[in-house]
Amino acid sequence: MVLDQEGSTNLFNHIMELWVNPEIERRTKAGKLLEKFLLNAAQVIMYPNGKPTVIRLNKEVKAELVGVASRAIKVKEKLNW
């Protein structure tokens, strides 16, 4: 699927509206975030088996790269794409 600029913007806005902003509000009300919280990164993980959706914010965001390298890579080595 290829999104144009308008489609990308709409997708981003919907993700923020449906998952990210409500999570920020929930954590703020629970005292887990400061009122002046600055969002740098967000990750929404949805499981097909019905497990609850996970929302990760800022330093909680994680990714896993799976592939074949053309050289040896050290643990936690930063890679340029």
Residue tagged 């999104």 (tokens): 3
pTM of the model: 0.75
Does 1 have pLDDT greater than 70? no
pLDDT one-digit tens code per residue, 54-72: 999 999 999 887 888 899 9
Provide the pLDDT for residue 32.
96
Average pLDDT of span 70-78 = 90
* Domain parsing of the chain, residue ranges: 1-81
Q: Are 21 and 35 in contact (CB under 8 A)?
A: no
Residue 55 has φ and ψ, to the nearest 5°, of -115, 120
Q: How far, in Å, CA of 1 to CA of 75, rounded?
A: 33
Does 3 have pLDDT greater than 80? no
Q: Are 54 and 45 in contact (CB under 8 A)?
A: yes
Q: Are 61 and 41 in contact (CB under 8 A)?
A: yes
Q: What percent of the chain has pLDDT over 70?
A: 99
Does 9 have pLDDT greater than 90? yes
Q: How far, in Å, CA of 31 to CA of 81, rounded?
A: 38
